[in-house]
């Protein structure tokens, strides 16, 4: 028994693994219920289990690398991600069909749809960690000139994929990369004066968009598509547009409200929700397991983020690994906040999935790749700790 306990402690963060398993089990239960609503004839549950199995293999593969190797591979992974984003834009419609107003998926016969932008989130985290570490080793963080040089590097690193993804009409993923970038910058050690300017610029940009939406819609349509504006209308007044652009949101709010405290039980969902197995999977949780089930899911994500924070705190001397933890925290927090916010009507609908809970091969595999990096970090910590004991 002691030997088994020591093996568990010396391998990786078992608490993090347990949380991942619980989230994946929750996903399988929710997808099983969602696919019974009759929108599709496919068995999404079997496919999701397959993605989880492949994701576990990816995690096992990531654990075989040390972080010196991962650091050397980072520029190549980032370059590969950019190449895929460029190919998305130039590929024919037969290979890259338009889905929900966006051209963001390769349609591969026998495999299904592959969304490069999902993997690009992780590649950007790696590249930002790589750049931040290299810059801090050769420059003094906190110096205005040095900080501006760092921001230029970060701006180019994040700006290129953001622009390519915006060309795909995928605003949600672009926003995720922007949040990841802001999170890494915030902890990079640059001057607070520059951070204050960045925050001020962000507030000004948001205020400008609100002004354009209210008073100069023609100008706003120069920067965004009509379907994105329609999502704002649907968010602001779901009752008015309930039979059209707000139908999905209205149904989601109705379903979650009908679940009340304890829900209707597995398979007891009665409200039809389009895309209930993917972006609106939290709606199924709320309807069938009620407020209690929804709170449990939210708590699982809090524990997941907490474990990554703990692992990151133990990496104060290994900056590359620390920034990877920070980037993953930003990614997961924003995904959870935005997805749950949109299905309950607090935020506009952006098509951002709930990590590991929503159905989707690219989202699941990319998230598990990122969490594989976190587990590798915890593994390296445990191995170093026991090496010190010896």
Instruction: Give the pLDDT confidence of 284-315 residue by residue, as tens digits.
Output: 999 999 999 999 999 999 999 999 999 988 87
Q: What is the mean pLDDT of the chain?
A: 84
**Could you read off the pLDDT of 78-109 as tens digits, one per residue?**
999 999 999 888 877 778 777 766 777 778 77
Which of 2-11, 55-64, 166-175 bottoms out in mean pLDDT, i.e. has the lowest? Answer: 2-11
Tokens of 209: 């968009």
pTM: 0.88
Confidence band for 387, pLDDT divided at 50, 70 and 90: low
| pLDDT number for residue 4 | 44
Are 170 and 118 in contact by the 8 Å Cβ rule? The answer is: no
- The residue range of the domain holding 84 is 2-389
Residue with the bigger pLDDT between 160 and 139: it is: 160
Number of domains in the chain: 1
Which of 33-42, 139-148, 361-370 bottoms out in mean pLDDT, i.e. has the lowest? Answer: 33-42
Confidence band for 10, pLDDT divided at 50, 70 and 90: very low
Tokens of 266: 């597995």
Q: What angle do CA 193, 143, 189 make, to 5 degrees?
A: 70
Confidence band for 18, pLDDT divided at 50, 70 and 90: very high
How far apart CA 163 and CA 207 sit, in angstroms, is: 21
Tokens of 370: 């990122």
| pLDDT number for residue 370 | 95
Q: For 65, which DSSP code?
A: S
| pLDDT number for residue 12 | 66
| pLDDT number for residue 325 | 94
Helix-, strand-, coil-residue percentages of the chain, each rounded to 5:
70, 0, 25
* Most confident residue range from 47-61, 167-181, 336-350: 47-61
Confidence band for 2, pLDDT divided at 50, 70 and 90: very low
How far apart CA 83 and CA 76 sit, in angstroms, is: 10
261 closest CA partner among 299, 288, 298: 288
| pLDDT number for residue 56 | 94
Q: Per-residue pLDDT averaged across 346-363, rounded? A: 87
Whether residue 8 has pLDDT greater than 60: no
Q: Largest alpha-carbon pair distance within the chain?
A: 69
């Amino acid at each position: 028994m002691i030997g088994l306990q020591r093996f568990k402690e010396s391998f990786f963060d078992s608490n993090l693994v347990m949380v991942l398993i619980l989230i994946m089990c929750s996903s399988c239960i929710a997808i099983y219920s969602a696919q019974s609503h009759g929108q599709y004839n496919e068995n999404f549950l079997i496919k999701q289990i397959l993605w989880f199995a492949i994701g576990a293999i990816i995690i096992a593969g990531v654990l075989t690398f040390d972080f010196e190797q991962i650091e050397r591979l980072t520029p190549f992974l980032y370059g590969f991600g950019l190449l895929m984003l460029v190919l998305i834009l130039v590929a024919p419609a037969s290979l890259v069909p338009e889905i929900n107003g966006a051209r963001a998926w390769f349609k591969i016969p026998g495999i299904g749809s592959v969304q490069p932008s999902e993997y690009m989130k992780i590649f950007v985290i790696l590249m930002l960690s790589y750049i931040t570490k290299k810059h801090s080793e050769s420059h003094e963080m906190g110096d205005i000139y040095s900080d501006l040089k760092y921001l230029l590097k970060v701006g180019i690193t994040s700006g290129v994929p953001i622009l390519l993804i915006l060309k795909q009409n995928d605003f949600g993923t672009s926003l995720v990369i922007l949040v990841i970038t802001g999170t890494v910058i915030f902890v990079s050690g640059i001057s607070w004066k520059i951070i204050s300017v960045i925050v001020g610029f962000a507030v000004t940009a948001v205020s400008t968009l609100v002004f354009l939406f209210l008073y100069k819609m023609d100008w706003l349509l120069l920067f965004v598509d009509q379907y994105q504006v329609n999502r704002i209308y649907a968010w602001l007044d779901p009752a008015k547009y309930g039979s059209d652009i707000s139908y999905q949101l209205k149904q989601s709010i109705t379903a979650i409200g009908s679940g009340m405290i304890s829900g209707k039980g597995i398979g007891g969902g009665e409200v039809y929700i389009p895309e209930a197995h993917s972006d609106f999977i939290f709606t199924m949780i709320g309807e069938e397991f009620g407020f209690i089930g929804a709170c449990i899911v939210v708590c699982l994500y809090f524990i997941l983020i907490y474990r990554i924070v703990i692992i990151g705190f133990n990496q104060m001397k290994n900056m590359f690994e620390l920034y990877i933890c920070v980037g993953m925290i930003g990614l997961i927090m924003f995904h959870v906040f935005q997805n749950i916010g949109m299905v309950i009507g607090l935020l506009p609908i952006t098509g951002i999935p709930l990590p590991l809970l929503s159905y989707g091969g690219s989202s699941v595999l990319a998230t598990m790749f990122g969490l594989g990096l976190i587990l590798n970090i915890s593994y390296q910590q445990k191995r170093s700790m026991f090496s010190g004991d010896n």
